[in-house]
Amino acid sequence: MMFNKVIVIIVAIILGIWLEGCDCKVVQFIFGDSLSDVGNNRHLSRSLAQANLPWYGIDMGNGLPNGRFSNGRTVADIIGDSLGLPRPPPVLDTSLTEKDILINGLNYASGGGGILNETGTYFIEKLSLDKQIELFQGTQELIRSKIGKRAADKFFREAQYVLHGLGARQLMVFGLGPMGCIPLQRVLTTTGNCREKVNKLALSFNKASSELIDDLVKELPNSNYRFGDAYDVVSDLISNPLKYGLTRVYACGAAYLARFQNSDSPCCSFGRIRPALTCVPASTLCSDRSKYVFWDEYHPSDSANELIANELIKKFGLSSSGQNAAPSPAPAIAPSPQD
């Protein structure tokens, strides 16, 4: 039997993994918060952290909400696509079978979830990191019952997880970005500038995480842990958006460079009524979402996610898994409903 090997990518404040050196098929198990949620919160009926209304998802697939807190793809989507990997479905999708998991992996990320159980309690219902790991342990038992203990142990032993006790040997840790520069933080100041106190907390977290990873490498046998920090490039993107752009292609085939123009306000908002805590059908959309760094008050746009993902791919030296799945192109930007 062919065994899948596993990448665990935990985006934002959590952890991410890349596994090398095996001929077997690669799948992903993704953990995180709203930056990597692909629909788990849609199955949490009491959760206030939802992306189930227009205009979420407007630039992806059929343009309808799909559980992602963006107009398009997440960073994890783009990294996985670039490696030719299948996109894992949300773990709370009750229609999934053991075969689906073996072929596609799973996504445990939940909007409002965090490292601490008390994080995001004002959202009422969410999956904390503890709960995500608990669900992953349940996945392990399910796979063992499907393919047997020996085969399942091989499947998971070759993977990388949040805890060393679960089998982690090669680990990528993603650092925080300049959290004090998201639109919600800026609009709460009298000047509209970034909140440097919050940014300093993010930098302190990144420094401590990097040092922890270095220590773990020394202490844990057969481990190859790395820290990926995109803080500087995201900070520079926010400070100097016109420096950055992504190559796009017209319908006629001609290529052009789409530069960012706005990095301090959300594309989806209520105009001057801010903060608009979420994007809803009554919201006003910017005319060109590819030029905005932020989609809503909290989350990057598809274009910004692509730039961040490319930076992390470069820092980690990731390359295609050699599987058949082809990287997805950037979504075509749909017309704004006001146009």
Active site residues: 34, 296, 299
Residues 300, 191: Cα–Cα separation, whole Å: 22
Radius of gyration of the chain (CA): 20
User: Which ranges in the chain belong to alpha helices (H)?
Assistant: 75-82, 98-104, 129-147, 149-157, 183-187, 196-219, 231-239, 302-316
Cα 296 to chain center, whole Å? Answer: 15
Sign (positive or negative) of CA dihedral 288, 289, 292, 298:
positive
Q: What phi and psi values does residue 236 have, to the nearest 5 degrees?
A: -70, -35
In angstroms, the CA 262 to CA 293 distance is 6
Tokens 């420094």 correspond to what residue?
207
Contact present, 5 and 25 (Cβ < 8 Å) = yes
| Residue 295: cis peptide before it, omega within 30 degrees of 0 | no
